[in-house]
Structure 1
Amino acid sequence: MTDLALRDRGAGTPLLLLHAFPLNAGMYRAQLDGALGTARVLAPDLPGFGDSPAPVGEPSLERWADQLAGLLDAAGVRTAVVGGVSMGGYLAMAFARRHPDRLAGLLLADTKASADAPAALANRERIAAAVLARDSVALLLEEKTEDSLLGPDSTGELIAEVRALIGAAGPAGVAWAQRAMAARTDSFATLEGLRVPATVVVGEYDALTPVADAEAMAMALPDAELTVIPGVGHLSALEAPAAFNAAVTALLRRV
């Protein structure tokens, strides 16, 4: 995974931040600008998103997790706090399952530990097939994907930013990621077995992975703090960066 586009900023405790679907690491602009203090923030564009090449092989979050371990090796990082928003959270849990010895702490934001219900599985395959057939991610913009990602009071500027991030995704990356997320398993046993500090963050109005999902993860983790951010939706890192950063900074202090 060393050929991936990577934003590597700051110095201190390594923090690997994994982006939401179907965005890229640009969503972490407010975490890459030094606001997290003594942290080395590593934020890759996952394969097929942003400036990274398309993914290869059978869709699997475990495959990505193994590649992320290689990315840390290339960056000279042995252990890191690993976390992400939405899909990034799914991938962080896969990393915790595959490489628990590389994990110094866990950040799960606007995500869930349960597997998808049948309706969600069907919708993932619908989107994957459609973007590949059209060789375009325009479908995501036509269906106003950003409406499900943002809270009710989002500004026009933020909506435009999210649409631009979505538009930078590649069809192969979108399809691969949808099928990899569909194939993921329940992660509650993984969370119950962890012995590192963890933080769970969720937006008050997150409709995709609601507060109840965050509460379930926090209860499963042996050492977790839960933060519910008022007034925001599924992209808390973008919508309320000050509150999100405060929760992450508290985790870094515990690590």
Structure 2
Amino acid sequence: MTLGVAVDGGTLAVHELGRGAAGAPVVMALHGITANALAFGAVAQALNGEVRLLAPDLRGRADSRSVRGPWGLAAHAADVVAVLDAARVESAVLLGHSMGAYVAALTAYLYPSRVSSLVLIDGGVGFPAPDGDIDAALEQVIGPAMRRLTMSFPDDDAYLDFWREHPAVGPALAASYGDLLTAYLRHDLVGAGGDRRSSCVLDAVRADGADVLADPLVLRSLRDGTVPATLLYAARGLMDEPQGLLDADRIAAAGLPPTVRVIPAGGVNHYTVLFEPQAVRLIAYAVGTSV
């Protein structure tokens, strides 16, 4: 089921991935910078019946690609509140992956009464801003996921072939959860046959990336916030390299408050942390102990 929520600049598409029983707690899932709501398909299955899981396609992506600016993480935070208002929910658990973790932490910092707790996956931790051009910085961090935004593909299979060459995603397409991963990847595509493209609006990605990498408020939101949080981190990186985005030493150096509980998610990478069964069970556990 997909809900349309009026936000500044258009209508945000919000996927109700799990309904839960009457009175079930509400969890809002916030995806990464070039991702979409279906990234949480495996997590939704693990939480089936336990929570009402709302997952927006963030503005400038997938079914929310027609939402105009403003871009940036403050706009996403305002959208989160708009979704809560539309759903008549006073407060919810925010579950964020990658950029979505920064959106969740910023929302909790700006609107603490609307967020009961945070579950952050491989993101949300602020570090010193890098030097140089934002496109170059994003290319360095997310690599092929950024390059595909300017590419076109003759059909869906060609797009999946692109991902099959990705060292962190390709092998996972043949895993037991491959259908869920494929559905997530296909949800990104727009355009007619012969000209299939990513739905992501490049200006939105650039603005959001600049905030994640360099906005002072975004970078201190988790450190200075008061909402309790659980942080899970993948051992491997965006290209399946053995060094992940986060590790115990980097997290310790970030100076996070004792209200942040840290859980290693094991030997998964930045993408498969949302799909590999053992990591998904940890995420479901973190959500279950946060509601």
TM-score, length basis structure 1: 0.79
Task: Give 1:46's match in structure 2, choosing from 58, 67, 74.
Answer: 58
Of 85-94 and 36-45, more deviation after overlay is shown by 36-45
* Larger Cα-atom Rg: 2
Cα distance in 2 between the residues matched to 1:116 and 1:66: 24
Kindly report the root-mean-square deviation, in angstroms, between the aligned alpha carbons of the 2 structures.
3.6
Of 162-171 and 172-181, more deviation after overlay is shown by 162-171
Q: Is the 8 A contact 2:34 2:61 kept in 1?
A: yes
Counterpart of 1:27 in structure 2 is 39
- The letter for the 2-side match of 1:228 is P
Is 1:99–2:99 an aligned residue pair? no
Is 1:110–2:128 an aligned residue pair? no
- The letter for the 2-side match of 1:235 is Y
Is 1:240–2:276 an aligned residue pair? yes
Cα distance in 1 between the residues matched to 2:227 and 2:110: 15
- The letter for the 1-side match of 2:134 is L
Of 244-253 and 219-228, more deviation after overlay is shown by 244-253
Cα distance in 2 between the residues matched to 1:248 and 1:217: 27
Per the TM alignment, residue 190 of structure 1 is displaced from its structure 2 partner at its CA by 1.9
Counterpart of 1:199 in structure 2 is 230
TM-score, length basis structure 2: 0.70
Task: Give 2:12's match in structure 1, choosing from 4, 14, 29.
Answer: 4
Per the TM alignment, residue 82 of structure 1 is displaced from its structure 2 partner at its CA by 0.8
The equivalences for 1:98-247 within 5 A come to 98-111=110-123, 112-114=125-127, 116-118=129-131, 121-123=134-136, 131=149, 136=152, 144=163, 147=166, 149-150=168-169, 154-157=172-175, 162=181, 165-169=184-188, 173-184=200-211, 185-186=215-216, 187-207=218-238, 209-212=245-248, 215-216=251-252, 219-247=255-283
Cα distance in 2 between the residues matched to 1:58 and 1:145: 34
Q: Deviations for 1:54-77, whole angstroms, at most 9, x for unmatched residues? A: 231232110111011011100111
Counterpart of 1:253 in structure 2 is 289
Per the TM alignment, residue 199 of structure 1 is displaced from its structure 2 partner at its CA by 0.7
- The letter for the 2-side match of 1:70 is A
Q: What's the secondary structure of 2:285's corresponding residue?
A: helix
Q: Is the 8 A contact 1:200 1:218 kept in 2?
A: no
Is 1:15–2:27 an aligned residue pair? yes
Unaligned residue ranges in structure 2 (runs of 5+): 6-10, 140-144, 191-197, 239-243
Of 91-100 and 218-227, more deviation after overlay is shown by 218-227
Q: What's the secondary structure of 2:245's corresponding residue?
A: coil
Unaligned residue ranges in structure 1 (runs of 5+): none
Q: Is the 8 A contact 1:237 1:244 kept in 2?
A: yes
- The letter for the 2-side match of 1:189 is R
Q: Is the 8 A contact 1:218 1:225 kept in 2?
A: no
- The letter for the 1-side match of 2:205 is Q
Rate the CA distance shift 1:40–1:217 in 2: closer, same or farther, 3 A: farther
Rate the CA distance shift 1:24–1:172 in 2: closer, same or farther, 3 A: closer
Counterpart of 2:81 in structure 1 is 69
Residue-pair matches, total: 252
- The letter for the 2-side match of 1:122 is D
